[in-house]
Chain A
């Protein structure tokens, strides 16, 4: 069970004066149960990349295989793929339209052809997962605060029970607390349900704490692909791409340069703390 991108190239406005090559010969495999972070500065092709994963845009060249089947085959059920691969867009709150939050969350399951009872169960479960206050279930989605709207919209995708969950910059425009809440909730869910999660972000700090694999995009190409430790070892090159490694990477490297015998692998504050204490305890 996996998602494979095989030499995928995508051009916007192909064949016109405005042609833009957004993806350039991308080969990737997303394995089952992985928590993957996709990082890159604005315009590096992250959104374009993930929109290929559930067939929303069709590659100009190349193939995509989901569980061994080519999703561009004429007899492939693309609608089924979209329920298997759930996609939370950037600013998902802009897609809310129903009269109540609860009904909006039911929209996905309804399109899947589930009966009323199952829809209700799914919506309850999804709203519970995003920790939505029960009092707000019957409120109009347009009355909610920014963070609450975002939770409602994410619940709308979770209710479809996708096997792979893709989130395109789910924390954009949120305050630090809202950001930590959403990311914590996603990590929690991944731990409990063991599903595959692809998290798009332009902030290293955001993903370093949560993911177990990072793909760095630059100019439509994945340039680094590995564990956070492996990727952050290239922090100098990342800087040239307009990305910064987490602050602890800099602290650890500076300490080492100053002659302390520390290991620069730490990617989170907690790990760094442990490493520094270990070093000074000697």
Chain B
């Protein structure tokens, strides 16, 4: 049941997007988000939409996967949309009972909803086409300059990759322990909130014990291989740009230039 969680889920496939360097994807996503939050006219919207559709086509990921993330924020989206719609002052378009919709409100609500949806879909494409390891590698390399001001970039990214790696392991472990206790007659579903909280003890205690055991084992294994942080450490698969990545950078720069030209003209 826990396997349905899709945060940062990777979709294995072969596509142009999958083979891009993670730094390119991080940079492009950042540019995309900037353009998304600075558009306010229909022409720019068309341009962003076309770009998004092209990227979706290039990713070879089924569309259903990208909008999975939307389900989670549906409620948030509706509430935020409603607030914008009803509570923005401006020229009144329609009104009934205590509600009234203004022209500004309608526009704001529309733009905000589009931004949220595009944001989720866009970032989902990045995580769906990049493995968590590539992603942290890319972040470490891109943020490497922060090392000079004393921020332990390598250690933080190592922590991130370990945490990401542990999510599926702990989910699987939870699933197993839950099954084992269910087989002994434990009941996780029925009863009030106190009974439910009590029912979690047989699940949480073994889960914590196993998490600590795994953390211990991992620390020992890392130490046994002489891990001592980032200095002097080399990579098995060092990140290197290919000509495809260079072309991708050119495309994204052209995208931004055209985007701001349109904005300036309109």
Stretch binding the partner chain, chosen from B98-106, B142-150, B181-189:
B181-189
Closest to B179 in A: A56
A107 x B202 contact (CB < 8 A): yes
Cβ–Cβ < 8 Å partners of A94 in chain B: 173, 176-177, 180, 206, 209-210
Stretch binding the partner chain, chosen from A26-34, A81-89, A170-178, A207-215:
A81-89
In this assembly, does A67 line the interface, its C-beta being within 8 Å of a C-beta of chain B? no
Per-residue interface assignment for chain A, residues 60 to 84, with 1 indicating a CB less than 8 Å from any chain B CB and 0 otherwise: 0000000000000000000100110
Contacts A17-B11, A97-B202; A111 near B183 (Cβ below 8 A): no
In this assembly, does A145 line the interface, its C-beta being within 8 Å of a C-beta of chain B? no
B11 x A160 contact (CB < 8 A): no
Closest to B202 in A: A97
Q: How far is the CA of A13 from the CA of B175 in the complex (A)?
A: 14
Contacts A13-B3, A89-B179, A97-B202; A157 near B184 (Cβ below 8 A): yes
Other-chain residue from A13, A95, A110 in contact with B181 (beta carbon distance below 8 A): A95
In this assembly, does A40 line the interface, its C-beta being within 8 Å of a C-beta of chain B? no
Q: How far is the CA of A112 from the CA of B182 in the complex (A)?
A: 12
Q: How far is the CA of A111 from the CA of B188 in the complex (A)?
A: 12
A96 x B184 contact (CB < 8 A): no
Closest to A12 in B: B3
Cβ–Cβ < 8 Å partners of B186 in chain A: 107, 111
Other-chain residue from B176, B185, B202 in contact with A82 (beta carbon distance below 8 A): B185
Contacts A95-B177, A97-B202; A83 near B3 (Cβ below 8 A): no
B184 x A97 contact (CB < 8 A): no
In this assembly, does B62 line the interface, its C-beta being within 8 Å of a C-beta of chain A? yes
B184 x A108 contact (CB < 8 A): yes
Contacts A17-B11, A17-B62, A89-B176; A97 near B183 (Cβ below 8 A): no
* CB proximity of B194 to chain A, nearest CB, Å: 17
* CB proximity of B176 to chain A, nearest CB, Å: 7
Chain B residues within CB distance 8 Å of chain A: 3, 11-12, 62, 65, 173, 176-177, 179-187, 201-202, 205-206, 209-210
In the assembled complex, 16 residue pairs joining A and B whose CB atoms fall closer than 8 Å, in A order, are A13-B3, A17-B11, A17-B62, A51-B179, A79-B185, A79-B187, A82-B183, A89-B176, A89-B183, A95-B177, A95-B181, A96-B206, A97-B201, A97-B202, A142-B209, A156-B184
* Sample of 7 further A-B pairs with CB below 8 A, known A95-B181, A107-B202, A156-B184: A86-B183, A92-B180, A94-B180, A94-B206, A107-B186, A108-B184, A111-B186
